[in-house]
Amino acid sequence: MTDSIDLTTLRVIAAAADLGSISAASDRLNLAVAAASVRISALEDHLGFRVFERSSRGVQLTPGGHLLVQRSRELLADADRLALDLRDYSQGFQGYVRILANSSAILEALPGKLEHVMRSHPLIRVDVEERSSPDIPMAVLDGRADLGIVDIGNPPQGLVLQDLFTDTLVLVVPSAHPLADRDRIALIDAMDQDFIALTDGTALSNRVMLAARQAGRTVRIRMQMRGFDAVCRMVAAGLGVGVLPLEAVGPQLACLPITAVPLSDPWAIRTHRLITRSAPPPSPAARTVITTLMAD
């Protein structure tokens, strides 16, 4: 029974109630007077009661008309908000974006970049979850995340990569360690040391293990930690050395008795990449976040 009630007719009735005149309401809404009158009459026939009492002085609402206009204003306000929300969504100003990022991205790049996203697009909700780089591509490909930030070389087919930021791997040693005075060091020259490593399966751990295998050596892993801070604390206790990104361990270098020795190996310079699905394309909100993250 609601198929004859449309938003345009409700706008005509609300305007006529405000102005006391159907012709004035027509002028406000850029409608012909006859078309507005037909809309009102058709709705009155559909509802079975008069919305307006008409006279030479204009129109006045009936009791049923008062109820209709009161509810109409609520519906029209909701419709206007919906139209604005949909416009904001289509233009990328509003929406929900889920990001999976590796530890380095969360510590080094994302805080400042996401602060800019939140400040410039407050209606976009961004959720971030920390994952290891090897686990992220399939999650993005399967649609469990809108975008990811990874340290990988060759992603699965169906993903698009964009360079986001770089960092530098260093050998972290106790400040009193014999290697602490070195200006630079190749990983192979530290192979006699006990290593405090990250858990297996992280991109950083994979890099170190691959480099050691290519040099015909084996990393002597004494302990495996889940996070950069834990590695630094074990190194500070004199239990071994570790390989970590310099940009992520600044706070630990400032407060713990450890030293960062630059690695001379070419693979020590890492490029972290933003990945998205090639199809379907990212949502408008995701495109806005991507643009903001990629901006300098």
User: pLDDT of 33-91, one tens digit each?
Assistant: 999 999 999 999 998 999 999 998 889 999 999 999 988 988 888 887 777 767 767 76
Domain 7-90, CATH among 1.10.760.10, 1.10.10.10, 1.10.220.10, 3.40.50.11030: 1.10.10.10
List of residues 6+ apart from 74 with CB closer than 8 A: none
CATH code assigned to 167-270: 3.40.190.10
pTM for the full predicted model: 0.70
Q: Is the pLDDT of residue 148 over 50?
A: yes
Rounded to whole angstroms, how far apart are CA atoms 199 and 222? Answer: 12
Same topology between domain 98-164+272-294 and domain 167-270: yes
Q: What band does 2 get if pLDDT is binned at 50, 70 and 90?
A: very low
Rounded to whole angstroms, how far apart are CA atoms 292 and 296? Answer: 8
CATH H-level, domain 98-164+272-294: superfamily: Periplasmic binding protein-like II (3.40.190.10)
In contact, 35 and 5? CB cutoff 8 Å: no
List of residues 6+ apart from 27 with CB closer than 8 A: none
Which helix (H) or strand (E) segment is 28 a member of?
helix 22-29
- Per-residue pLDDT reduced to its tens digit, 193-240: 999 999 888 899 999 999 999 999 999 999 999 999 999 999 999 999
From residue 10, alpha-carbon distances to 33, 117, 120, 201 in Å are 15, 39, 36, 61
